[in-house]
Structure 1
Amino acid sequence: MEQIIEEALSYGPLIINAIKALVVLIVGWIVAGMVARLVSRKVNANEQIDNTIGNFAANLVKWVIRLMVVMAVLGLFGIEATSLVAVMGAATLAIGMALQGTLSDLAAGLMLVIFRPYSQGQYVDIGGTSGTVKEIALFFTELVTPDNVQVIVPNGKAWGEIITNYSHHDSRRLDLTFGIDYGDDADTAKKLISDIAAAEPRIHDDPKPWVRVTNLGDSSVDITARLWCDNAEFWDLKFTLTQQIKEALDDKGISIPYPHQVNVQR
């Protein structure tokens, strides 16, 4: 019995250290999250700093604190930080080879934050995948598509692909093309479209809007309206004008033809 008690007591320090390690780990993880949120809130409160930088800095701080917490936990079990660094240094090559994709994503994340080809809240296309940028994290970029689907793009892939940023400029050009019948008067249709565009307050005066015949198709004369508007108004304005112009053409008796075939009997 005494031997059992002695053996149980011998595990006492280990159990105590395990409890301490668990407490440090839990508290450290909570503190890391709190500090990260504080950093994000403080940085994003400055209007001169892009929110992308604030969120990226918060992620970086969170993982640095977590690394310190892990080192502190290992220290409770007698593993010194210097020894840990030496072991990590010896294993750097192997880790680098195994995690080269992850390290590449991290490096690409830094490049994205430094050069900022896109920022949080902008609508972009990355290698054929479109969506609104929700977050640029250490290793990935999170997009949200118009139908509310989450898309995770590794930063390495994002940095290596062609990026189209639809939200970079404040204004954007809107082209609307309508086909009218060859028997209809093109000048009448052009004036009708111009009048509707002139009455729309969301269309910019500079660059000046224009409406011209741009193509003679197989079954229609194509008239294009080239307009400029605020980026945020692009889609709503496109849908509104499309309906208004279609209804106005109908009221004037100007038809919008569709491809058809005529059979000639001999």
Structure 2
Amino acid sequence: MEEAMGEFSAYTPLIINAAKAVIVLIVGWILAGFLSGMVRRRIVSHPRIDDTIGGFAASIVRWLVLLVTLIAVLQLFGIQATSLVAVLGAGTLAIGLALQGTLSDIAAGVMLIIFRPYKLGQFVDIGGTSGTVKDLNIFVTELVTPDNVQIILPNGKAWGTVITNFSAHSTRRLDLSFGIDYGDDADKAIQIVLDVAGADERVHKDPEPWVRVTNLGDSSVDLGVRLWCDAGDYWELKFHMLKTVKEAFDAGGISIPYPHSVEIQKAG
């Protein structure tokens, strides 16, 4: 009995330190979430600071608190911070090789924050992946597709590829094409499109709407249309123009031909 009590007493400091470590981890995890959330809210509420910086700064605060928590836990087991730094220094090469992708993501995240090719809430295409930017932290960029699918993109890949920002400017040009029959009056069709565009308040007067014959196709005379509008009105205006122009063509006797071929027979 005394021998068993002695063995238990030998393990008592380890058990106590393990319990302390669990408490420190829990407190550190909660504190990291609290501080990062507070930083995000403070930055987002500031009118002169972009919301994108809020998410990035909150991510940095979170990981710094977790790092300090880890060091505190190691010290409970007798591993001093100086010893930890020495070990990390000795294994810098191995750690660098193992974490080169992660370090690249962190560096890319810093570059994205500095140059800001996109911001929170903007619709972008990053290397063929499209979506609205929901979050940008030190490791990844989070996108949400129009059908509400989450996409997590490492910052290293985002910075190293082509970025198309559809929301960078306040206005956009809407390009449309309508095909009419070769027997129809092209000037009349052009005027119909201009009348439809002029009746819509979302279409800007400057630059003015542009409609021209742009191609003589196999089955149709193609009209090219260029309209300027606010970026937020782009898609609704496109859908409206397609429907309204079609109806106006029907009312005006302008036909939109199906693809067809003409057979010519020669006598003899």
Find the aligned partners of 1:51 and 1:98 in 2 and give their Cα distance. Answer: 32
What percentage of aligned pairs have identical amino acids? 64
Match of 2:98 in 1: 98
Check if 1:176 corresponds to 2:168. Answer: no
Post-superposition offset of 1:265: 5.3
Per-residue CA distance 1:126-145 (angstroms, 9 max, x = gap): 11111111111211111111
Find the aligned partners of 1:50 and 1:257 in 2 and give their Cα distance. Answer: 50
Match of 1:196 in 2: 196
Check if 1:130 corresponds to 2:130. Answer: yes
Q: Could you tell which deviates more after superposition, 148-157 or 236-245? A: 148-157
Check if 1:87 corresponds to 2:87. Answer: yes
- Which amino acid is 2:52 matched to? T
Instruction: Report SS of the residue matched to 1:258.
Output: coil
Find the aligned partners of 1:251 and 1:90 in 2 and give their Cα distance. Answer: 81
Find the aligned partners of 2:227 and 2:263 in 1 and give their Cα distance. Answer: 40
What are the equivalent positions in structure 2 for 1:109-188 lying under 5 Å apart?
109-188=109-188
What are the equivalent positions in structure 2 for 1:246-261 lying under 5 Å apart?
246-261=246-261
Match of 2:40 in 1: 40
Find the aligned partners of 2:47 and 2:64 in 1 and give their Cα distance. Answer: 26
Instruction: Report SS of the residue matched to 1:47.
Output: coil
Find the aligned partners of 1:76 and 1:216 in 2 and give their Cα distance. Answer: 80
Per-residue CA distance 1:88-134 (angstroms, 9 max, x = gap): 11111101011111111111011001100111111111111111111
Per-residue CA distance 1:23-69 (angstroms, 9 max, x = gap): 01011101100110000000011121111100000001000000000
Match of 1:242 in 2: 242
Instruction: Report SS of the residue matched to 1:11.
Output: helix
Per-residue CA distance 1:173-194 (angstroms, 9 max, x = gap): 0011101011100111111111
In angstroms, what is the RMSD of aligned CA positions?
1.1
Find the aligned partners of 1:245 and 1:47 in 2 and give their Cα distance. Answer: 42
Q: State the TM-score, normalizing by the size of structure 2.
A: 0.96
Match of 2:2 in 1: 2
Aligned length: 266
- Give the unaligned 5+ runs of structure 2: none
Check if 1:67 corresponds to 2:45. Answer: no
Per-residue CA distance 1:201-230 (angstroms, 9 max, x = gap): 111112122211111111111112211111
Distance 1:265 1:182, change over 3 A: closer
- Give the unaligned 5+ runs of structure 1: none
Find the aligned partners of 2:137 and 2:75 in 1 and give their Cα distance. Answer: 29
Find the aligned partners of 1:92 and 1:136 in 2 and give their Cα distance. Answer: 28
Post-superposition offset of 1:241: 1.0
Post-superposition offset of 1:261: 2.1
Find the aligned partners of 1:241 and 1:226 in 2 and give their Cα distance. Answer: 11
Moved over 6 A (4+): none
